[in-house]
Structures are given as structure tokens and as C-alpha cells.
Structure 1
Amino acid sequence: MSKNFREIFWQRRNHRFNERLKQYVRDKVIAKFKECGCDVFIQSFKKLPNQYNGINIIAVKNGLNRGKTGDEIILVGGHYDTVESSPGVDDNGSGMVAMLETARVLSSVQLKQTIMFVAFDLEEFGLLGSIAFVHDYLIPREIVKNGANFLGAFIIDMILRQEQAENSQKLPPKAVPNAAAQIRANQNRGDFVAVWSRRGVDTELWQSLSKSWSQLQNPFRFKLIEFDSPLPLTIPTADELRRYDTFTRSDHSSFWYHKNANYSSTLNAVLLTDMGRTVERRVKTLLS
């Protein structure tokens, strides 16, 4: 994994900074997915005022029922673009490296379910890549046309920062009291990855991840803590968005609150994140 950081995700991946560097990273990611035996293709989209082409990378590990009635899809995703001023090692080189490693580990395993790995573009410009993927590909092509059952998405966005020191992580308790209590009981250490969900909606995804995680034998694994936000099943009201907008600031929310009129159901998703270890500042609005 460290090799992928050094060779791929050490530089800015932003079209305003250097499009050739961004294309270099795309080519490397595509090659890595192909090495894992995935079918790989790109999804181009135009969403910016200057008509810059965004490019999502979609890699598919075919399940036993791929192309048949009853196919089930599990998605692992993360964005590969960065802001103009940052090399994006944590945001989101860490998520991309984790996704590539997941593809590598699963490459020798035959699964009943189809696994879809998606590297989203233009997350830093308003989640444009994941919005285009859900609206223009996932729903019309996989769910509506092919009749696939979408089981859920695991979105990875920043998982590199871990803090073992006491009082390195603080969280206002009002919005996610269970998570806040766990953190306080651990002397406010930031030695965990948060899993963001909607309370009572994405519970099954969280439980399946938590169960599998607890069975790992690696003693150095970090902890997972569920942040079960009070956001609703349907599109939030303006007041709910004002209070809990932090929980919609990554690609998972493109699944939660898609706007494709041909499919009325929400799409389950959870976000794995270290929150940049600045959560006390970022979620202060939760107390208002």
C-alpha cells in the first residue's frame, strides 16, 4: 500500500493545477484495477461551467449472478481528485489506496455478489462525480435496466489520521450521543475511523461492516465508531440540512439523496472517515 502512496497519490490531482498529472493518476488507477481482474471503463460527464470533462473510473468484479436476474451489487467508492492547493495524501489518497487494496485482496475470491469499485472525480467541486454516477449510470443502467439489487455503498474519504493522545478528539454530544459517549470513555482519543450513517436507515450496512471488522485477527487494526446521524430517509428539510449539513459533505450523500425521478427509493451508504481530526470545529453547528 505504501508503494501506491509513493507512486500515485503524492501529488495534486486537480484539473486547474495540472491536468496531465491528473491523467497520469487515472491511468495508474485503471491499470491497478485491471491487474485485479476487474472490467474497467470510464464515465465522462460535464458539470462545470467551463465544460471541463469529469471522469469517473468504474471497475467491476463480476459476481456469479452478473448479468442475470437476482444480481446483487456492493459498491466501494472514493474520490481521487484533490483541491488545487493540496497533494491530497489523506484527502483522499488514503481512501483510494484502501479501495485498491480491497480490490487486490478480493481478486482471488469468487463471490456471489458483484463488487463495483468507483473512483469519483470532482468531489471537491460539489460531489459532481458521484452525483453523475448515481443519476446517470447506477440507477438507469444497473438498477432499472438490469434489475440488479443494490445492497449498499461503502464510501472511503480520509482514513489516514490516527491520534493516540488523550483529548485529541472532541465531539459535541447532541447529534450523535452514542459516538460521543464512546469517545469520552476512551479519554477523547482520536484513534478510530468514524462510520457515518443515517439512524435506523443504513443500520444493516454498519452492522455487517462491524461484524466483519470484529473478526479480523490483526491486533493493530484501528477502531470503528458509528456516527448515526439523525438525518431522515427522504431528502432533509432546510432546517435539518442547516443543523446536520456536515453529515452530507462527501460522496455517500449522493446515494442517500439522489434526485433520479425514475427510482424513488433511497440508496443505502455509509462513509468511513477520520474526519480530518478537526471534528469539534466542523460540527459545532450541531449544537445550534
Structure 2
Amino acid sequence: MNLKNQLETHLTQIVRDRDPYMASAGHFFVQEYIRASFAQWGSVDIHTFYVSGKACKNLILNLPAADSQNRDLPPILIGAHYDAVPSSPGADDNATGVAVLLELARMFATQPIKYPLQLVAFDMEEYGLLGSIEYAAKLQKEQQPLRLMISLEMLGYCNSNPGSQIYPPPLQHIYPSRGDFIGLIGNWRTLRDLINISRSIRKVGVASQWLPVPNKGHIVRQTRQSDHAPFWDAGYPAIMITDTAFLRNPHYHKPTDTIATLDLDFLTGVCQGLEKGIRRL
């Protein structure tokens, strides 16, 4: 099966009501689907944390470096949240990120890279980045260094009409008005990685724009709205890969966030470009 079909197969399983409270059966189904997908490539660690007595789960797949001499290098962490808001099937937000996460797991398990990898499916992002806050704090407490953290946050909505992309000011004067690119947003420490991964994405034929932000993103608050932000706050180099969410996608957090609204060729290109970019780190 080719990559586009693989991604679509994942999407058909993940896209459903899966709010942890209002649609707990759907949430559990997706959790188990991710766990089973990860389990094909290694043992799955479950990081349990509690929210008002409710047990929540981050799912983690650790993959070794290609060369055993590099197994002590700081890992690259790639994450995506699997929960969704109530009454939305969450196709773009964030089934697209999870689908790409599962495919990157397959790619890097069968052909390892220079660095060890941690692939993490975060829970409770929609309730205030709770899963990533807990996990970043855990790594910080353990004094675990990271080569880079990459958050996959909405990767499949594309609109090439002029004016389809909006921005928080003053970014509209710098970036294109068509929402047909994938965005990379990182803290200053990731500048070289932003440039290199963006270049790899462009090489596969997908437009890409990158933005380094100072001060942990507090100047442009919209840059903090995903699971990379707790890693910025903990002092880690971290990047969000995104189609810019509500700044482009009119179906954001709505019942209309369905597979039919996605551009699967765009999503496939993003996945291919990310694989190439991560391999070059």
C-alpha cells in the first residue's frame, strides 16, 4: 500500500468523536488503535497522569538509533495529540498529526536514523496541553536532554485561493496570502533545524514557511497553541509543524472537520518531507 493509502487508512480509524469525557468510547478506541500500531514496532510505554481523578494516557514508542554507538545521543521526540474537542470528528485536528506520527513510526522502525527516537501520542491537549505539560515535566525532572521536539499539529488542510490565509499582525506583511503551505514554528534554538526541515519539505513539492519566535512565543500567543509549548517552557528546542489551524481551516473545532475537507496529497507530501528532513538532522 502506498503512503497516501496508508495515511487514509489511519484517518478512517481515528476520525470520530473522541473527546475524553463526552465520547469516551471513541477516545478509548483511538487510544487502542495507536497502541496496537506502535506495538508492531516495539514495546509501548504508557505514561499515566491524572486530571481530577481521571486516568489519562500518553503512549510512547522508543526506537533505537541506527548505530549502537549512537544509542546514548539525546533522542528526537515526535509527538501528536489524539484527543479531540466535543462534537467534532477531528479529522485535521488532530487525526492528520496522529496518522503522520504512525507512518513515521513505521518508516523509522524499518530504517532507523542517527538519533534514538521517541514517538509520543499525547492525551488531553484540548484541555490545556495537559498531556505534554506532564510529559515535559517528567523529562525535565529526569534531566533527559532532547536533540529536538517536533509537534505534529493539523497537517492536512490546504487552500490555494488568495486571501485564504490569515495571520496575527504583523506577519501578514511577511508571509503569503494563500493557505497552501505547511508552517514550521520553532524557538530560536531550532533555527537551523527549521531551515533544513523546511528545505526537505519543499524538495518533495510542498510549499513550506518557517518562523522562529523569541520569548517562548509569548509575543505571538497563537504560536503556543500546541504540545510544543510546554517543551519551550521547559527549555527544550521544539518545533510545531502545522497548517496553521483556525488561521486557515474554517472547520476548526466544528462537526465539519471531516476527511472530505482534507487534501490527502498535501498531507502525503508533508509526511514525505518530514521523513527526509528528520533523517538529515
Bin of the TM-score, shorter chain as denominator length? 0.7 to 0.9
**Over alpha carbons, which structure has the higher Rg?**
1
Q: Quickly say closer, same or farther: Cα 1:250–1:64, change in 2 above 3 A.
A: same
Q: Scaled by the length of structure 2, what TM-score is found? A: 0.79
1:204 aligns with 2:205: no
Of 13, 17, 26, which residue of structure 1 is paired with 2:18? Answer: 13
1:40 aligns with 2:41: no
Show structure 1 runs of 4+ deviating over 3 A.
64-70
Please say if residues 70 and 115 of structure 2, whose CA atoms lie closer than 8 Å, have aligned partners that are also in contact: no
Please say if residues 17 and 89 of structure 2, whose CA atoms lie closer than 8 Å, have aligned partners that are also in contact: yes
1-side partners of 2:152 and 2:118: how far apart? 14
Task: Kindly provide the CA deviation profile for residues 141-193 of structure 1, in whole angstroms up to 9, marking residues without a partner as x.
Answer: 461xxxxx41111101111110011221133552x47xx4341xxxx211011
2-side partners of 1:81 and 1:66: how far apart? 35
1:191 aligns with 2:191: no
Structure 2 residue runs of 5 or longer lacking an equivalent are: 1-6, 251-281
Which residue is 1:54 aligned to? 56
Which residue is 1:84 aligned to? 86
Structure 1 residue 64, shift from structure 2 partner: 4.8
Of 211, 226, 232, which residue of structure 1 is paired with 2:215? Answer: 232
Of 196, 203, 207, which residue of structure 2 is paired with 1:223? Answer: 207
1:181 aligns with 2:174: yes
Q: Scaled by the length of structure 1, what TM-score is found? A: 0.77
Structure 1 residue 279, shift from structure 2 partner: 5.6
2-side partners of 1:65 and 1:84: how far apart? 44
- One-letter amino acid of the counterpart of residue 21, structure 2: R
Of 216, 219, 238, which residue of structure 2 is paired with 1:269? Answer: 238
SS state at 2:114 partner: coil
Structure 1 residue runs of 5 or longer lacking an equivalent are: 144-148, 259-265, 282-288
Structure 1 residue 128, shift from structure 2 partner: 0.4
Considering Cα pairs closer than 8 Å and 6+ residues apart, tell me whether 1 or 2 has the greater RCO.
Answer: 2
Which residue is 1:153 aligned to? 149
Of 229, 234, 238, which residue of structure 2 is paired with 1:253? Answer: 229
- One-letter amino acid of the counterpart of residue 254, structure 1: P
SS state at 2:208 partner: strand
Count of aligned residue pairs for this structure pair:
244
Which residue is 1:24 aligned to? 29
SS state at 2:209 partner: strand
- One-letter amino acid of the counterpart of residue 22, structure 1: H
- One-letter amino acid of the counterpart of residue 228, structure 2: H
SS state at 2:121 partner: strand
